[in-house]
A and B are shown apart, each in its own frame.
Chain A
Amino acid sequence: MTRRTGRPAGAWVATTVLSLALAGCRGNQVIFNPQGPAARDIAQLGWFLFAVCGVVYAMVLVALAWALLRRRREDDQGAGATRAITRTVALATAVTAALLVVLAATSVTAGRGLTSPSGPGAITVDVIGHQWWWDFQYRDVTPSDVVSSPNELHIPVGVPVVLRAQSRDVIHSFWVPNLHGKRDLIPGVVTSLWIQADRPGVYRGQCAEFCGYQHAHMAMQVVAEPMDAFLAWIQRQRQPAGDPPDQEALRGREVFLQSPCVSCHTVRGTIAGSRVGPDLTHVGSRLTLAAGTLPNTRGHLAGWVADSQSVKPGNRMPPNVLTAGDLQAVLGYLRSLR
Chain B
Amino acid sequence: MMSRRVASCALLLCGVLLAGAGCERESRPFQQLPAASARTERPLLSQNTPGGRVGESPIDTGASPFQENAWGISEGKRLFEQYNCVGCHAHGGGGMGPALIDDRWIYGNRAANLFDTIVQGRPNGMPAFRNKIPDSQIWQLVAYIQSMGGHAPLAALPGRSDHMRVGTPENARPATPAVQTGHP
Q: Is the pair A260, B131 in contact by a Cβ cutoff of 8 Å?
A: yes
Partner of A309, one of B33, B82, B83, B133: B33
B56 proximal to A (CB < 8 A) = no
Q: Would A309 and B38 be within 8 Å (CB), given that A187-B162, A260-B132, A263-B83 are in contact? A: no
Note all chain A residues with C-beta closer than 8 A to B175. none
Q: Is the pair A310, B31 in contact by a Cβ cutoff of 8 Å?
A: yes
Note all chain A residues with C-beta closer than 8 A to B36. 309, 318-319
Q: Is the pair A258, B30 in contact by a Cβ cutoff of 8 Å?
A: no
A262 proximal to B (CB < 8 A) = yes
Q: Is the pair A318, B136 in contact by a Cβ cutoff of 8 Å?
A: yes
Min CB gap A170→B, angstroms: 8
Q: Is the pair A314, B133 in contact by a Cβ cutoff of 8 Å?
A: no
Name the residue on B nearest A276 (C-beta): B82
Chain B 153-173 near chain A by CB (<8 Å), digits 1 or 0: 000000000100000000000
B34 proximal to A (CB < 8 A) = yes
Q: Is the pair B133, A263 in contact by a Cβ cutoff of 8 Å?
A: yes
Interface size on B, as a range, is: 10 to 19
Q: Is the pair A307, B162 in contact by a Cβ cutoff of 8 Å?
A: no
Min CB gap A323→B, angstroms: 13
Note all chain B residues with C-beta closer than 8 A to A111. none
Min CB gap A188→B, angstroms: 8
A321 proximal to B (CB < 8 A) = yes
Partner of A321, one of B28, B31, B33, B82: B33
Kindly state the separation between the CA atoms of A262 and B129 in the bound complex, as whole angstroms: 12
B27 proximal to A (CB < 8 A) = no
B180 proximal to A (CB < 8 A) = no
Min CB gap B136→A, angstroms: 7
Q: Is the pair B82, A313 in contact by a Cβ cutoff of 8 Å?
A: no
Note all chain B residues with C-beta closer than 8 A to A264. 82
Name the residue on A nearest B31 (C-beta): A309
Q: Is the pair B162, A318 in contact by a Cβ cutoff of 8 Å?
A: no
The 5 closest A-B pairs by CB, nearest first: A319-B37, A313-B30, A309-B30, A318-B134, A321-B37
Chain A contact residues, CB within 8 Å of chain B: 169-170, 187, 258-260, 262-264, 276, 307, 309-310, 313-314, 318-321
Chain B contact residues, CB within 8 Å of chain A: 28, 30-31, 33-34, 36-39, 82-83, 131-134, 136-137, 162
A-B contact pairs, 7 of them (CB 8 A): A260-B39, A262-B132, A263-B83, A263-B132, A307-B33, A309-B33, A309-B36
In addition to A263-B133, A318-B36, 19 A-B residue pairs with Cβ atoms within 8 Å of each other are A169-B162, A259-B131, A259-B132, A260-B39, A260-B131, A260-B134, A262-B132, A276-B82, A309-B31, A309-B33, A310-B31, A313-B30, A313-B31, A318-B37, A319-B134, A321-B33, A321-B37, A321-B38, A321-B39
